[in-house]
Amino acid sequence: MSHPSQPQFWNDRYKAGTTPWDHGGVPRRLAEYLAAHRAGGRALVPGCGSGREITAFATAGYEVTAIDFAPAAVEQARANVGSALAEHVLLGDFFTHDLAGAPFDLIYERTFLCAFTPDLRENYIRRAAHLLKPGGALIGLFYLGDERGGPPFALSATDHDALFPRNFLLVNDLPVPDQHPLFGANERWREYRRVS
C-alpha cells in the first residue's frame, strides 16, 4: 500500500478522479490577492495538483512555476493550463528538485502542506525559506486544527508556533468565504513574509 509521502499514493487518486480536495477553480482570497498584487515577480506553486491557479498567476503578471511529483496530476495541470503554460508545470519533488527559477518572490500554498505527513513539515518550512527571496511571500489557504489523522493533516497551533516563526512572519490571517466542504471553517487564508 502506498503512503502519502510517495508519488504513487497521489497518482492513483488523480488517475481515478478521486480528488475531493480540488477546489474546481481559483479561490476567492487568491483572486483578491492577485488583483491587489499585480506587479508580478516569480511565483512557485508546489504540489500544484490539477493546476487550477496557475493561469491566474500568469494573468496577474507572474512568471509562474508549478511542480508536482504525481505524473497524473502534472498531466491534468498541463491540460488545464494549455500549451502556453504547459512547460511551466514540472514533474518533480518539491523537496529535492532543482528549481531554476529560484529565488522566488512568492510561494502559493493550497492543499500541499496538509497532504503530506507532519514529520515532513520542518523540511517544508526550510525548503520554502530557501526558495524565497528575503521578504518574499508565502501565501495561501492553510488547513488548521488539532486532528492527527489524514490526509488531510491539519496544522495545529502548537506545530505552527514551533515551525513558522523561525523563518516567517504572519502578516495576514483571514477567514475563507468560499469554504471547501473538505476543510470547512478550519481553512484560513494566510500571508507570511520570509524574515530569515
The secondary element (H helix, E strand) that includes residue 86 is helix 83-86
| Domain 7-15+27-194 CATH class label | alpha beta
pLDDT at 83 over 80: yes
E strands in 24-151: 41-46, 62-68, 89-91, 104-110, 132-143
Q: Give the confidence band of 147 by pLDDT, cuts at 50, 70, 90.
A: confident
- Residue-level pLDDT at 22: 81
The average pLDDT across 13-40 equals: 87
Instruction: State the Cα–Cα distance between residues 108 and 137, nearest whole angstrom.
Output: 8
Give the pLDDT confidence score for residue 114 in this predicted structure.
Answer: 92
Asked if the model's pLDDT at residue 1 lies above 60, the reply is no
Res 127: pLDDT: 97
